[in-house]
Amino acid sequence: MSLTADDVKKIAHLARLGIEEQDVASYAKDLSGMLDLMTRMSDLDTDGVEPMAHPMDQVQRLRADAVTEQDNREKFQAIAPQVEAGLYLVPKVIE
């Protein structure tokens, strides 16, 4: 299985990940190599096997619907790139 330069650019867009034009070919080569490694998985018959997500097959714990967190807005916004009036600022989204 091999990926083309266009495949890599499409995946990078899905991930909103900037990659340099000069690196595209090497990512295509490395990802194709990884996919080759993964084709070995088809050697094993896994019909009827339940996918495993947690080593103890633990399910998500539930808790009472009560407030447990304190308001840390100022603390968290102090490390943000750009804030104003308690809001996170980003470039204009709506014209």
The residues binding another protein (CB under 8 A) are 3, 7-8, 11-12, 14-20, 23, 27, 30-31, 33-34, 37-44, 46, 49-56, 58, 60-61, 63, 72, 75-76, 78-82, 88, 90-93
Nearest distance in Å: CB 6, another protein: 13
Cα dihedral value 15, 20, 24, 26, nearest 10: -110
Which CB, 72 or 84, lies closer to another protein?
72
Q: How many residues does the chain have?
A: 95
Nearest distance in Å: CB 71, another protein: 13
* Number of alpha carbons in the 13 Å side-chain half-sphere of residue 74: 0
Which residues does 31 contact at the CB level (< 8 Å), separation at least 6? 3, 8, 11
Nearest distance in Å: CB 2, another protein: 12
